[in-house]
A = this chain, B = another copy of it.
Amino acid sequence: MSVFCKLSLGAELRSFVLKFFNFPNGRQTLTGQNTSNRRRRRKSRQAPSLSNIVNAPDVRDIPAYDLVRAEGVEKIDAISMDILENTGIEFRDEIATTAWRAVDAEVDGTRVRIPRELIREKVSLAPTVFTQHARNPERSVKIGARHMVFSPIYGSPYVRTLDGERRYARLEDFESFVKLAYLSPALNHSGGTVCEPTDVPVAERHLDMLYAHMRLSDKPFMGGVTSPERAQDCLAMCRILFGKDFLNNHTVMTSLLNCNSPLVWDESMLSVIRVYAAANQACIISPFIMQGANTPVTTAGAFALLNAEALAGIAYAQMIRPGAPVIYGATLSTVSMQTGSPMYGTAETQQLTFLTGQMARHYGLPMRTGGMRTGSKTVDAQAAYESLQTMLPALLAGGNFFLHAAGWLESGLSACFAKFTMDADQLIVLQRLAGALDLSDDAFAASATNEVGPGGHFFGSNHTLQHYRDIFFSPETADQTTYEDWQENGSVDACVRASQLAAARLESYQAPSLDEATDDALREFIARRKGEIQGGDACLANHHP
């Protein structure tokens, strides 16, 4: 306290003296706290972490944020429909163009011009909310409406290891990310290609990746999208895991299908959409936006384009199987006009994010968004600023499926264990923000305020003792000690703490149980398919676009 008095701090800081008090169990009072503070604080740090007791809601109880008025929504819709009607969109795939012709779209080679009535009719068939089942029914998630699903980083060729090394990702890294997501209360989805297992032949990766999700986690996951054959393999493995009949009427995979902006759906993506939609498996229909490069440089123009692309893809999925679950959204970045690199967390991506949410609600579709995305090459302040400038708007925009929600670094080129751990911590803050604000009489605590009265403190009040365990999440990766204690503990930054925490969690990991016969059947299937791939269709598979 003496430091503060001597310095005669401004009023703003006076009350900071309070932070030198210590109350490890919430029952200690503010009296008699002098020289023994430091010793007590040290003791309290060994107590079991409160942050393990986490209430992290997966339903948004707060309103979604509307950026534009109803006229704006109408105008965006109208311009997107104009694009589809007049400019048209390419479906570079004969099966698709044939299907469009059959429903009276104007087809000219690969260019398809689609009347707005047709788009609206098809899009309206998609469900507003659907359930993605996990092998552990308690882990099943709803996608759409006010439900929120948080899924890890997707697609990085490199990893940033626990020692800070940057190297090509391996299957062991993939498995570690699956384990960390399994252990994280913030992530209710195991994800897909959480990193590229580059030590596995390309043609066999989808098998090993899906097996890792199935074996090491019991949370829902994504399917392979690099070829229709691989998507079929994923379906076959799901039939083993969930049972043959279950898949007919249940969605067990949510997979990522990107449009090549501007205005191209290619054969590779379309053929996978066909496999998954036909099997009632969910497709995230997601234009890959680099604003200014593959879209107009203005936000309105970029959004009208991505909206047209997403709606066309969704309409096509509904032509395959009416009512097939889809998710509407986009992968967003802004292109630096100085370096040509993608930028994250810009005002423009925030605007696009809010518009995505508003239009998703307009069309009654689940929304894909978000991600803790950054262009930073290391886990520094830039990484965190950009990640939250992306993720917080996504949450308030009303997002349903948050891809890249943890672990993203370096424009997605690296999956990072430390950042994964920190991002997951920050997700809990956002999930708690999304939860209901208690406005009951008890929460208003009028009697506690009256009882404590002017100049008192609330640490010892019954109301505090009744409630404090339910609230006040303290991220485990954040340091909440004094400067002196922090210095004594080695002056480490958040990245170092997060790496240590990730290592400790991986150490503590225990696999969820999996029926032995099912496991055997999965291994048998994988072995057989690997044999076939190595023997016969490896060449084809390896060279698939």
Q: Which residues in B have their C-beta under 8 angstroms from that of A9?
A: 155, 157, 196
Contact among B290, B301, B443, B457 with A463 in the assembled complex (CB-CB below 8 Å)? B301
Contact among B11, B49, B345, B389 with A258 in the assembled complex (CB-CB below 8 Å)? B11
Q: Which residues in B have their C-beta under 8 angstroms from that of A31?
A: none
Interfacial residues of chain A within 240-267, with CB under 8 A of chain B in the complex: 256-258, 260-264
A124 adjacent to chain B (CB < 8 Å): no
Q: How far is the CB of A292 from chain B (nearest CB, A)?
A: 6
Contact among B44, B258, B479 with A14 in the assembled complex (CB-CB below 8 Å)? B258
A300 adjacent to chain B (CB < 8 Å): yes
A473–B260 CA distance with the chains assembled, in angstroms: 25
Chain A contact-residue range equals: 35 or more
A396 adjacent to chain B (CB < 8 Å): yes
Interface bits A1-14 vs B (CB < 8 Å: 1, else 0):
00110011111111
Q: Which residues in B have their C-beta under 8 angstroms from that of A457?
A: 262, 293-294
A3–B414 CA distance with the chains assembled, in angstroms: 14
Q: How far is the CB of A203 from chain B (nearest CB, A)?
A: 9
A339 adjacent to chain B (CB < 8 Å): yes
A299 adjacent to chain B (CB < 8 Å): yes
A32 adjacent to chain B (CB < 8 Å): no
**Are B90 and A454 within 8 A (Cβ)?**
yes
Question: Given A226-B8, A340-B22, A474-B336, are A260 and B15 also a contact pair (CB < 8 Å)?
Answer: yes
A486–B346 CA distance with the chains assembled, in angstroms: 20
Q: Which residues in B have their C-beta under 8 angstroms from that of A383?
A: 381, 384, 494
Contact among B18, B377, B432 with A483 in the assembled complex (CB-CB below 8 Å)? B377
Interfacial residues of chain A within 436-465, with CB under 8 A of chain B in the complex: 437-440, 442-446, 448-450, 452-459, 461, 463-464
**Are A19 and B340 within 8 A (Cβ)?**
yes
Binds B, one of A64-72, A97-105, A132-140, A210-218: A64-72
Q: How far is the CB of A180 from chain B (nearest CB, A)?
A: 17
A290–B20 CA distance with the chains assembled, in angstroms: 13
Contact among B45, B50, B337 with A468 in the assembled complex (CB-CB below 8 Å)? B337
Copies of this chain, whole number: 2
Q: Which residues in B have their C-beta under 8 angstroms from that of A83?
A: 446, 449-450
**Are B155 and A300 within 8 A (Cβ)?**
no
Q: How far is the CB of A476 from chain B (nearest CB, A)?
A: 10
**Are A412 and B491 within 8 A (Cβ)?**
no
A433 adjacent to chain B (CB < 8 Å): yes
Q: Which residues in B have their C-beta under 8 angstroms from that of A19?
A: 290, 335, 340-342, 411
Q: Which residue of B has the minimal Cβ distance to A294?
A: B457
Q: Which residue of B has the minimal Cβ distance to A494?
A: B382
A413–B10 CA distance with the chains assembled, in angstroms: 11
| 3 shortest interchain CB distances as A-B pairs | A301-B445, A384-B384, A347-B432
Contact among B68, B380, B449, B467 with A437 in the assembled complex (CB-CB below 8 Å)? B68
A152 adjacent to chain B (CB < 8 Å): no
**Are B386 and A478 within 8 A (Cβ)?**
yes
**Are B382 and A467 within 8 A (Cβ)?**
no
Interface bits A159-200 vs B (CB < 8 Å: 1, else 0):
000000010000000000000000000000000110010100
